[in-house]
Structure 1
Amino acid sequence: MPPPESLPPAQPAFILRGHSAQIHALHFTQNNARLLTGDAEGWLISWNLAFKRPVATWKAHDNAILGLGSWGADKVITHGRDHKLIVWKLPYAAEEQMDNVLPVNATDLVKQPWILHVLPVNTLNFCSFAMCLDGMPPPQGVGKTIQDTNITQSILLAVPSAVDSGGIDIYQLPSESHAAVITADRNTTTGMVMALSILAETSQIQVAAGYESGHTMVFVQNDPSAAFQRLYCAQTHSQPILSLSISPSNDHYFTSAADAIIAKHPFPSAQSIWKTDLKPLKVIQTKHSGQQGLQARSDGRLFATAGWDARIRVYAAKSMKEVAVLKWHKAGCYATAFATVEQHAPLTGLQTPDELEDDHTATIVDTNLDQSLPSTTVQERRDNKAQTTHWLAAGSKDGKVSLWDIY
């Protein structure tokens, strides 16, 4: 095996071109068969990852798209700076009726998916929504439209409050009800909410928030009739927090900010695991300011950030060591997304994830499944490869999206 320093730098597996404005949001959906990309002009593209081609393109918002999500197998959630959060119905069958002309070539595309819900929300903070499945079973008869009748579980959405810059509103869908509110902490000057994440288990709801002041806090509601209580507060950043991501294990979370700090924090519900006071678990000085779009991978081994210096940085979640710097974009990067893969395909590259702690060089992993699936069709092999690859997507100010297949 050649020494790490002799290995060539990692290169993106694919480049998706089509947006004419900077990329603000990315999200894998349909079991990684599709990648959603949203830009600063409100355009949304759904890409077929097996063929790297657009299957649906539409103007989702009149202003920049701040965040993307999915609900079940056929619903897409978009959050725009036009103060709207919209749930669209986009099953596979509907793609045939959609336009697939890219925004760089679009003139007047009017086709849109069916709209299921529209919520008026505050977007002055540049803070994207957070969502999770509702821990409570759905009530009988819930559903405002015929399209809602096949919904099996409701969701909770957390967004910055429309009347309190440091507060948080929580909505429930499909009922569109205002489920709860978290008021700004009057004893701590935090400024605006800048990043959010939410978890729900039975009747307990937990919300992690990052603020303009560099503070991060965690709130919990143990009963729907009770007020939220603050369980954790830390100020590890000197600049506004730009992104926040909870580990898949749900026992810690990461924050990044306009400064060069990345911090790991305990999630209060798991404090028995840490057996310590609630304080930051690890704080690192990366010497690279302006890292945002922080996302943890579904296996909990890695997280990635998008840098204003046009670099995508990959870190080992346990040690928080930088294990890769991905260089391709020429303009600043704002968003990252990891594909969710339940089980790894066999690794045939030069490294395995167990070696990440000590190796700072990224290598492309060969996940070609053609030989392992001889009885399948070409289409099935392409779909299988697209859906079982741990893609890392990165979006840039240049309007391009790079797809990386590393580790």
Structure 2
Amino acid sequence: MVAGRVMPPPVFLCFTTSASPVHARIMHAAPLQPAYVLRGHAAAIHAVSFVRNNTRLLVGDADGWVTMWDVATRRPAAVWQAHTATILGVGSSTQDRIITHGRDRKLIVWHITADDEHRLSHALPVDGQVVQRPAPWMLSSLNVNTLNFCSFAQWLDTPTELHPEGKLLLAVPGAVDNTIVIYSLPDETIVSRISTDRREKTGMLMSLSIARKSDHLVLVAGFEIGSTVVWQEQGHASGTWTEVYRSQQHSQPVLSVAIAPDLHAFYSSGADSTVTKHHLDGSDAQTLQTMHSGQQGLTIRSDSRIFATAGWDGRARVYSTKNLQELAVLKWHKEGCYAVSFAVTPPEGSRDRPVGDTSVETASTALSRKSIALTVAQRREARAHGTHWLVLGSKDGKVSLWDVF
């Protein structure tokens, strides 16, 4: 079965949401259960990401397979083997440009349009090698270091006349433990090399996040020794970086770091049970001892109000960005979870608006069956676009979709 609606078991539990006006405290009689479960992969899921305004979901597994799911129909829109080893990360820079990063030392940018989906395979990885699965058009392929488990971080600069779709910056681990390399696409050149003091034993680079704050880029890294470091670019496109923050809030390796979209803070989680909020203005960090070790894949929703982690205990945990309060525990998977992601939150009032703001005729009684079917499809896509999805990928090869916020 490709996807199915999950029926809740006959038990009861409750959860609380944030005490803010947006998330009033609510007691639920029904248990938290995923809205749908996607069963398309035989190997562990290591990367998930919503793309194309939440209409598509990218899923990457330990065997190098990528499935692009149609969120509205919950069926595969494209399936291909992007890498010959574990997928470390997936994402997109534009509507049609998909990024995949594998442990085969490759970082690839693919070009996939809506029309391309019709010619690509829809046979799921769990079905085995039953058919040929052609790969999409490859725009760029970088040879990068993948001796660790750190995925890429990306930033798309403002479009210019020279780069009408914007210059894409990709940060990846260098060949040395304490080194980060930043590539520029489409020219595939190295524009920066950043490193900590070689005398410091940081261990492997574990996680990266990059964003633009005012007129300069900010890069955050998490290391094996439990430290987090922030660098700031000196001048626009200068290639020179200065360390501006360092913290040792974790006693074990940092598994994930993420800069909040509002650029006020970044958050970290680790192999220990600590979750930390680091303020980008340099004020004291806030920490939460969760009592649950092994939280990774930390992701922040686009409105910067909540963040989530994927747990080795098979559970996702949702927290408030304001005070680190635990808001919900999502338990369904029987094995550990490695990847979690939020859909982009639509603007207020747009939740039920059809994609493309397509109006629906109401006065005509002569609509054809084709027009009616199109309207239904538009409404279904609009619901997928406007739902506050959270997706969770597990070692069991299953992907659960939740709509709890």
> Please, what TM-score do these two structures have when normalized by structure 1?
0.85
Which runs of 5 or more structure 2 residues have no equivalent in the other structure?
1-13, 15-24, 362-371
CA distance in 1, matches of 2:341, 2:333: 16
Contact 1:133 1:200 in 2 (8 A): no
Corresponding residue for residue 369 of structure 2: none
Question: How many angstroms apart in 2 are the aligned matches of 1:97 and 1:199?
Answer: 35
Identity %: 47
Match of 2:69 among 38, 42, 47: 47
Task: Provide the secondary structure at the position in 2 that maps to 1:12.
Answer: coil
Match of 2:201 in 1: 189
Q: Distance in 1 between matches of 2:81 and 2:310?
A: 25
Shift of residue 233, structure 1, vs aligned partner: 0.1
- Given that 1:345 and 1:389 are in contact with CA atoms closer than 8 Å, whether structure 2 keeps it comes out as no
- Asked if residue 294 in structure 1 is aligned to residue 333 in structure 2, the reply is no
Residue number among 41, 60, 75 corresponding to 2:82 in the alignment: 60
Match of residue 156, structure 2, among 118, 133, 146 = 133
2:298 pairs with 1:251: no
Q: Distance in 1 between matches of 2:138 and 2:165?
A: 18
Structure 2 match to 1:354: none
What whole-Å deviation, never above 9, does each CA across 1:240-296 have from its counterpart, x for those lacking one?
0001111110110100000000000012xxx2xxxxxx2543101000000001100
Larger CA deviation: 104-113 vs 33-42:
104-113
Match 1:92 to one of 114, 118, 124: 114
Q: Which residue of 2 aligns with 1:325?
A: 329
Q: Do 1:28 and 1:337's aligned partners in 2 also have CA atoms closer than 8 Å?
A: yes
Q: Does 1:311 align with 2:315?
A: yes
Measured against aligned partners, the alpha-carbon deviations of 1:84-120 in whole angstroms (never above 9, x if no partner) come to 0000000101000000000011305340100000000
In the alignment, is the contact (CA less than 8 A) between 2:178 and 2:198 conserved in 1? no
Alpha-carbon shift at residue 171 of structure 1 (Å): 0.5
Taking structure 1 as reference, are residues 345 and 404 closer, same or farther at Cα in structure 2, changes over 3 Å only? farther
Q: Distance in 1 between matches of 2:388 and 2:314?
A: 21
Q: Tell me if the contact between 1:165 and 1:184 (Cα under 8 Å) persists in the aligned partners.
A: no
* SS in structure 2 of the partner of residue 381 of structure 1: helix
**In 1, distance between residues paired with 2:64 and 2:132?**
13
Distance 1:226 1:293 in 2: 28
Structure 1 match to 2:219? 207
SS in 2 for 1:104: helix
What is the letter of the counterpart of residue 249 of structure 2? T
Residue 390 of structure 1: aligned partner:
388
State the SS of the aligned residue for 1:385: helix
- AA aligned to 2:184 is Q
Asked whether the 8 Å contact 2:177–2:202 carries over to 1, the reply is no
Give the alignment of 1:228-239 within 5 angstroms.
228-239=241-252
Contact preservation (8 Å) 1:134, 1:201: no
Question: Structure 1 pair 222/139, CA: closer, same or farther in 2 (3 Å)?
Answer: farther
Per the TM alignment, residue 220 of structure 1 is displaced from its structure 2 partner at its CA by: 1.0
Q: What one-letter code is carried by the residue in structure 2 that aligns with 1:328?
A: W
Letter in 1 for 2:64: G
Contact map agreement 2:231 2:245 (CA 8 A) in 1: yes
Report how far residue 343 of structure 1 moved: 1.4
Most deviating of 151-160 and 14-23: 151-160
SS in 2 for 1:28: strand
In the alignment, which residue of structure 2 is the partner of 1:282?
286
Give CA deviations for 1:197-228 in whole Å, capped at 9, x if unaligned: 11236862211000001000100112344631
Alignment check: 8 A CA contact 1:345 1:388 kept: no
- Aligned partner (choices 136, 151, 166) of residue 113 of structure 1: 136
Secondary structure at the aligned position of 1:331 is classed as coil
Q: Work out whether residues 314 and 337 of structure 2, in 8 Å CA contact, stay in contact via their aligned partners in 1.
A: yes
Letter paired with 2:81:
K
Determine the structure 2 residue equivalent to 1:33. Answer: 55
* Contact 1:337–1:394 (CA under 8 A) maintained in structure 2: yes
Contact 1:256 1:291 survives alignment (8 Å) = yes
- Secondary structure in 1 aligned to 2:127? coil
TM-score by length of 2: 0.86
1:351 matched residue in structure 2: none
Q: Aligned in 2, Cα 1:263/1:202: closer, same or farther, shift over 3 Å?
A: closer
Contact kept? 2:300, 2:342, Cα under 8 Å? yes
- Over the aligned positions, Cα root-mean-square deviation in angstroms equals 2.2
- Give the corresponding residue for 1:359: none
Runs of 4+ more than 6 Å apart:
none
For residue 92 of structure 1, give the secondary structure of its aligned residue in structure 2.
coil
Retained in 2: the 8 A contact 1:12–1:402? yes
Q: Return the letter of the residue paired with 1:221.
A: E
Alpha carbons 1:159, 1:168 under 8 Å: kept: yes
Displacement of 1:70 = 0.3
Report the residue type matching 2:186 in the other structure. Answer: P
Distance in 1 (CA, whole Å) between partners of 2:31 and 2:353 is: 20
Return the match for 2:253 from 240, 253, 257.
240
1:379 aligns with 377
3-state SS of paired residue (2:383):
helix
Asked if the contact 2:96–2:113 (Cα under 8 Å) also holds between the matched residues in 1, the reply is yes
1:178 aligns with 2:190: yes
Cα distance in structure 1, aligned partners of 2:28 and 2:69? 35
Deviations 1:350-406 (A, max 9, x none): xxxxxxxxxxxxxxxxx899xxx8758110110000001110000000000000001
Q: Offset at 1:8?
A: 1.6
Show CA shifts across 1:12-38 (max 9, x none): 111011100000000101111100000
C-alpha distance in 2 between matches for 1:316 and 1:337: 15
Partners of 2:212 and 2:218 within 8 A in 1: yes
Q: Count residues with an aligned counterpart.
A: 365
